[in-house]
Structure 1
Amino acid sequence: MADTEVCSVVSDFIDFLNASPTAFHAVDEAKKRLQKVGYEQVVEREDWKLEAGKRYFLTRNHSTIVAFAIVGAHTDSPCLKLKPVSEVKRAGYLEVGVQTYGGGLWHTWFDRDLTVAGRAMIREEKGGSVSYSHRLVRIEEPIMRVPTLASHLDRGVNDGFKVNTQSHLLPVLATSVKVELNKEFAENGLAEKTTNKSRHHAFLLQV
């Protein structure tokens, strides 16, 4: 912070102290300062009609002041979401059907290590009854990739590339050969259990 800024802050603080010989004066001074920068006063015992983006304050017994701002945020971000039926097999590869969510820069998703995270619905059978529960899922290591053609094999690479979200953004999970060689997932019965009911690759569910 520059010296002039420090002096301004210190001077402003001293002015506040000089105007606040008691708690009542301090609240009154704070109230004036808040109103000066756009805060609106609300009465604690009345119903509030608050609006997002606005700022408010309330006082109690002239010796307490509470200031707050109404802000909103969302937790979502652009991503590729697994489709309800994500199992895709094509040209000897196990691909995962996805749909775009949000306004992402989809060309940046190519040739990157991708993983899976989100919320899964788990079906459980106990004593003849069936129950469902939601669990958070997060696979730490990368397991998929959305590949692109090598630049020296793509004659139009410098002419611009328009992403077809339906056909281009299909992450590759594994080759069919790798799945066949990986006998462990079949030996534990997972493949048999999920073949008829699952809408996703058994290999993905095992991971």
Structure 2
Amino acid sequence: MTDKKLRKTKQSVNRALLESRILRSAEIVFASKGFSGASMERIAELAKISKQNLIYYFPNKDLLYKRVLKEILDIWIEKLSFLEHQEDSPEVVIANYVREKMQISRLYPNGSKVFAHEIISGAPVLKEYLISHLKPQFDRDVELVKSWINKGLIEEIDPQHLFFTIWAATQTYADFSVQMEVLLGKGPLSDEDFKRAELAVTDLVVRAIGAKKII
């Protein structure tokens, strides 16, 4: 590799790292202040860069907000397709799905909160993206669950509301973590807390659909 290519590669890596730092900082500010209360100054401060540098990457707050929302949804879509594991048994697919969803709540709690605020507000920014990106996958996954029912692998259950229930049960560990911390009498939820939650949610869902218990 030539020196020029090496420099270009290094610049690309540095840019990606800086963008990631900006996005993580924006998630924190949007999650705590909402869109209207967030400021580019505070995001730049948290990312430890100048406002001018921030504007170079994201010219305005609207664009940064959209990027935060799309990134968390893209992560969700990338990790949570039932179809990636369709050769597995329903209970294994369910366990993998819950595990990935819980991981997103653990690793991207602020992104999840921003997403929740957007949905509660009627999804003014994200609605078309939900229709074009999330719904096609959702429809495919619903069809897979229907095939399990038709094959007698699980009990008859409403596939769409099965997903809604799993999403609610896993996202709550990000969106309402403070409530859980208070009720559990502890500080921020630990990896062990998330593992305990993952096992509990998986067990509940597997029991509900009448699949084999795996935990």
**What TM-score comes out, normalization by structure 2 length?**
0.20
Which of the two has greater helix per residue?
A: 2
More strand by share: 1
Larger radius of gyration between Structure 1 and Structure 2: 1
